[in-house]
Amino acid sequence: MTQPATKAVIRAEAERLFAAFQAAGAMPVEADVLLPAEVMLDLYGEDIRARAYVTQDPLRGEMMLRPDFTVPVVQAHMADGADPARYCYMGEVFRKQEHLGNRASAYLQVGFEVFDRAAPEAADAEVFALFAGLVSGLGLRAVTGDIGILMAAVRGLETTERRRAALLRHVWRPKRFRALLDRFAGRAAVSAGRVALLERLATGAADDLIAAAGAFIGLRAPEDIAARAQALIEDAQASPIKAPEAALLYDLLGLQAPAAAALGHLRGITPMLPAIAPAVDRFAARLEALKARGVAVDTLAFEASLGRTSMEYYDGFVFSFHANGMPAVATGGRYDALTARLGAGRSIPAVGGIIRPHLVAALKGAI
């Protein structure tokens, strides 16, 4: 339980950040605390249940205590927002903690979101520079990344469409992604289970095998099963991703360097991985825009794999600000695809982030 005096200090810090976001041209918006769970569950999957408080409403079904503002703000914008638009918000978010400890399960978040079609890289730089300014003097370590480069590299792989889709689907799950890549690149042996499965599938037509497997039950139709059986057989015959191409992707996954040096490295591998050229151009444009705002890109940390977590919505620029021994003080990124998923057919490039005022207050020694 947070003491009232401590709460007042945190709120004052939040108000300061909120005012700064408004001064930067953002319109303050409110969001419901109690949200329909369905949209969030559909978006984030089962992982959100481990993190959010889900409760049963006798009339409205499953409801969720607001785990973040991004989704309600995007929904509100897609429903009747101006174009372009800048929003800011301040309020409590609720996160279930699955481990004992002192991590807060209800805390204030202050955020800033930009919806702008004109110049995405300029908007990325605007958001980053604004956040960097607001947390300057706290001794934080800034890290940036760009999931868009990794996604572009996967889309350009010389392999089957199915394999590209499987890798893209797991971009946010590094372990699974790695296992798939190892298998598609021929670096990992095919599992014994898969070998046995393929042998069995080779013994007859899928329909006969399904019929022989006993009573048919469930919603997954025989056609679905047969189609995947066929896909498995085809995949077993596909040739592995060529070693040099795979090596470039492994290199990209592990790329960590100051941003300017990372750009040089990416320029160097682009001739061998031409599909990443547009994404690397965007990265270059972003660095220019950051430089123009006074960010030292020669020392700014860049990690190609930053932002690959199960809260899967960032699909371009990502950033976070860290101090030792606490969760990220501020995080953000670009989520163009999310606006398409929530926009019922419409979409708009969007970038934003949040600051956790209780951590800022703690770093200032105010609480």
Q: Where is the binding site for L-histidine, in residues?
A: 68-70, 95, 109, 113, 308, 313-314
Question: Binders of other proteins among 113-152, rule CB under 8 A?
Answer: none
State the number of binding residues for other proteins (CB under 8 A): 46
- In the bound complex, what is the minimum distance in angstroms from residue 67's beta carbon to other proteins? 16
Instruction: Output the six-digit token pair for 241.
Output: 């991703």
- In the bound complex, what is the minimum distance in angstroms from residue 218's beta carbon to other proteins? 5
The angle that helices 147-155 and 277-292 make with each other, rounded to 10 degrees, is: 170
End-to-end, the C-alpha distance of the chain in Å comes to: 14
Write the DSSP assignment of 47-94 as a string of letters: HHHHHS-EEEETTTEEEEE-S-SHHHHHHHHHHH--SSEEEEEEEEEE
Give burial (CB, 10 Å; 0-12/13-18/19+) of 99: exposed
Helices vs strands, H then E, count in the chain: 16, 12
- Regarding 104 and contact with other proteins (CB under 8 A), the answer is no
Q: Binding other proteins by CB under 8 A: which of 218, 271, 274, 325? A: 218
- Regarding 216 and contact with other proteins (CB under 8 A), the answer is yes
Annotated binding residues, written as ranges, equal 68-70, 95, 109, 113, 308, 313-314
- Regarding 291 and contact with other proteins (CB under 8 A), the answer is no
* Beta bridge mates, 65: 34
Exposed e or buried b per residue across 2-16, where buried means at least 16 C-beta atoms within 10 angstroms of its C-beta: eeeeeeebbbebbee
Of 68-76, 165-173, 275-283, 339-347, which segment contacts other proteins by CB under 8 A?
A: 165-173
Of 92-100, 246-254, 265-273, 283-291, which segment contacts other proteins by CB under 8 A?
A: 92-100
Nearer to other proteins, 197 or 260 (CB): 197
Question: Binders of other proteins among 31-50, rule CB under 8 A?
Answer: 41-42, 45-47, 49-50
- Residues 306-345, one symbol each (x = binds other proteins by CB under 8 A, - = not), give ----x-----------------------------------
Nearer to other proteins, 231 or 243 (CB): 231
Could you give the angle at the alpha carbon of 315 between the alpha carbons of 99 and 120, nearest 5°? 130
Q: Binding other proteins by CB under 8 A: which of 213, 274, 345, 365? A: 213
- Residues 232-271, one symbol each (x = binds other proteins by CB under 8 A, - = not), give x---------------------------------------
Of 22-30, 112-120, 227-235, 265-273, which segment contacts other proteins by CB under 8 A?
A: 227-235
C-alpha closest to that of 358 among 66, 23, 103, 22: 103
Give the span between the Cα atoms of 173 and 182, in whole angstroms: 14
* Beta bridge mates, 88: 28, 112
Q: Binding other proteins by CB under 8 A: which of 104, 129, 197, 323? A: 197
Q: Binding other proteins by CB under 8 A: which of 60, 117, 228, 364? A: 228
Largest CA distance in the chain: 73
Nearer to other proteins, 222 or 278 (CB): 222
Q: Are 330 and 354 in contact (CB under 8 A)?
A: yes
How is residue 117 annotated by DSSP? S
Q: Binding other proteins by CB under 8 A: which of 134, 153, 229, 300? A: 229
Give, for 146, the enclosing helix (H) or strand (E): strand 141-146
Of 76-84, 138-146, 168-176, 248-256, which segment contacts other proteins by CB under 8 A?
A: 168-176
User: In whole angstroms, how far apart are CA 248 and each of 160, 187, 242, 274, 306?
Assistant: 18, 14, 10, 11, 18
Q: Binding other proteins by CB under 8 A: which of 1, 5, 59, 100? A: 100
Binding footprint of other proteins on the chain (CB under 8 A): 41-42, 45-47, 49-50, 97-100, 166, 169-170, 173, 175-177, 179, 191, 193-194, 196-197, 200-201, 206, 209-210, 213-222, 224-225, 227-229, 232, 310
